Structure 1
Amino acid sequence: MTGNGFAQHRAALREGRYVRVVNYHNTPESMADALRHELAGYAASFDSVTLEHLDAFYATGRWPLERPGFIPVFYEGYLNNATVAAPICDELGLVAWFPIITRFLDCPVPEQRAFAEAHDITLVEEELSRDRLAMTWDDVAEIGQRHVVVPHTGSHEEIGRVRTAEDVEREIVRPRRDVERATGREAPAFVWLRGTEYGTSPVQDGWVRDTGYRYQISNTMIQRIA
C-alpha cells in the first residue's frame, strides 16, 4: 500500500484488502484461555496470512485472500511463546510470526534473567522462579515447521547502536544464520528493537539488505526490501 493516496487506502479498507497485525510478547500459562479466545475471534473474521501470500502479493500486486489478512506476532523468544502461544495458533489454524532475540536463546539458563533485565526484555512475575525463560533452539526448529521464525536482532538492539562490522555480525548476520540452521528454512525478515522501519538509515538499511532479508517488520508496516 505504500505510495497510495488516502482514497486508495480507504477503498482498500472497505474492500478488505488489508492485513491486521497484532503484536504479543509474554504469553504465560495464566493468559492461555484469554489468548485462545482473542485469537479465535480473529480466526473467525480474518484469513491467516502465510509468507507465501505476502510473496505473491508483492510479486503480482493482487491480494490472494478472500477476507482481510491476519498475522499474530510473538516477540522476543520467550519459552511461553513456544509452550502456550504456538500450540494455540496450531489449534486455530493460524500462521504466526516469531521474531526472536537469538542471544537470549543462547544465554545459559542461570543467566537468562540477568540477560533479560540488561536487554529490555520484560519478564512476568509468575515465571521468575522458573529456570528457563527463553525457548530452546529445538523449540525454534519445531515452531519453524508451521510458522515463520525471524531474528529480532541478536541482543534486542536499537538501530543506532549497530555501527561496526562486529556489531553487524552479532546483531544482523549471525542471527539469520542461526535461525536458518535451526529451522532449515529461510529467515525472510528482520526486526529492530522498537520497530524501526526500513528507510530510516541508509547505512543500516544496506546491512539488512545485503544480509539477504526480504522483509523488515516495523511498528506500522511489513516492508518489502527491494
Structure 2
Amino acid sequence: MTRPSFDAQREQLQRGHFIRVVNYHSTPRGARAELASELAGFARDYAPVTLDDLDRLFETGTWHKDKPGVIPVFYEGYRNSVTVAAPLCDELGLTGWFPIATSFVDCDPEHQEAFARAHWISLVEEDTKGGRIAMNWDEVAEISKRHVVFPHTAHHEGFDGVFSDADLEREVVESKRQLEAVTGQEAPAFVWLHGSSYGQSPRHDQVVRDAGYRYQFANTMIHRIN
C-alpha cells in the first residue's frame, strides 16, 4: 500500500477512519461487570474488526465502516479469557483478538502458577485460588471459530531475550505451527513480550517474515509485514 501523507492521515482520523486497539491481560470473573461496561461502550462507539477488515484496511488504505474500528486484545491465554472475555465479546458483537503464549497453555495446570510467575505473566488473586489458570487447547480451538487467535511467542518472551536459532524457531515459528494445527486456520499475526515494534532487529524481523506472519502487533501500531 502507498504510504499516506500526513495530511491524508489527519483527514482519515478526522473522519473516524482509524482502529483503536485496547489491551487486556487477566479478566477475572470478579471484575466481569466492569469489563462488560467498558466493552459495551466500545461496542456502542466503535465497529468490530475482523481479520478480513484489517486486511482490507491495509490493502486499500481506507477504513470502510461508518464507525472507527476497535480491537480488544486479550493477552497470554488466561482461562478467564475464555470464560469471561470471549463470551462478553460474543454478547456485544465484538471480535476479540487473543495472543496466546503457547507454552503457558501447554503447561500442566499444577505448574501454571509457577510458570506464570517465571515468565512475566501477571496474576490477580482470583487466578491463584486453585485450578487451571490458562485455557486449554480445546478452548483455543473453540474461540478461534469466532475470534482471532495468534502467537504471543511460546514462553512469553521479548525479542531481546531470544538469541539462538533454536530459541527463534521455538518462540516464533513453532508457536505458529502449534496454533495452526489446533485451530485449523492461519495464525496471521505475532507479538513479542512488551509489544516490541517491528524494525528493531533485522534478524528477528527476518524470522517473523519467513514464518509467514502478515502482522506484528506493537505498543504503538500494527505493522503490516507480509
TM-score after normalising by structure 2: 0.96
Q: Which moved more, 1:86-95 or 1:56-65?
A: 56-65
The corresponding residue for 1:219 is: 219
Q: Distance in 1 between matches of 2:31 and 2:41?
A: 16
Instruction: Give, in whole Å, the separation in 2 of the partners of 1:60 and 1:69.
Output: 15
Does residue 206 (structure 1) correspond to residue 215 (structure 2)? The answer is no
Deviation at 1:158, TM superposition (A): 1.0
CA distance, structure 1, for counterparts of residue 59 and residue 68 of structure 2? 18
Cα deviations by residue, 1:1-51 (Å, 9 ceiling, x for unpaired): 995454333222110011011000010001111111110111111110110
**Displacement of 1:182 after TM fit?**
1.2
Alignment partner of 2:187: what SS? coil
Q: Which amino acid aligns with 1:189?
A: A
Runs of 4+ in 1 over 6 A off after TM superposition: none
CA 1:59–1:83: 2 relative to 1, 3 Å: same
Q: CA RMSD in A?
A: 1.4
SS of 2:98's partner is strand
2:76 and 2:101 in contact (8 A); partners too? yes
1:25 has 2:29 as partner? no
Structure-2 residue corresponding to 1:152: 152
- Distance in 1 (alpha carbons) for counterparts of 2:33 and 2:125: 18
Q: 1:77-125 CA distances to partner (integer Å, 9 max, x unpaired)?
A: 0000010000000000100100010000001111101100000000011
Q: Hey, what does 1:15 align to over in structure 2?
A: 15
SS of 2:63 mapped into structure 1: coil
* Structure 2 gap ranges (5+): none
Residue number in structure 2 paired with 1:105: 105
Summarize the alignment of residues 1-226 of structure 1 with structure 2, pairs less than 5 Å apart: 3-226=3-226
Rounded to whole Å, the distance in 1 between the matches of 2:56 and 2:158 is 31
Judged with a 3 Å threshold, the aligned counterparts in structure 2 of structure 1 residues 2 and 194 are, in CA distance, closer, same or farther, namely farther
Distance 1:62 1:113 in 2: 44
Gaps of 5+ in 1: none
Distance in 1 separating the partners of 2:42 and 2:53: 18
The one-letter amino acid paired with 1:71 is I
Kindly tell me the number of residue pairs found equivalent between the two proteins: 226
Question: Does the 8 A contact of 2:17 with 2:62 survive in 1?
Answer: no
1:60 Cα offset (Å): 2.1
% same residue: 55
SS in 1 for 2:112: helix
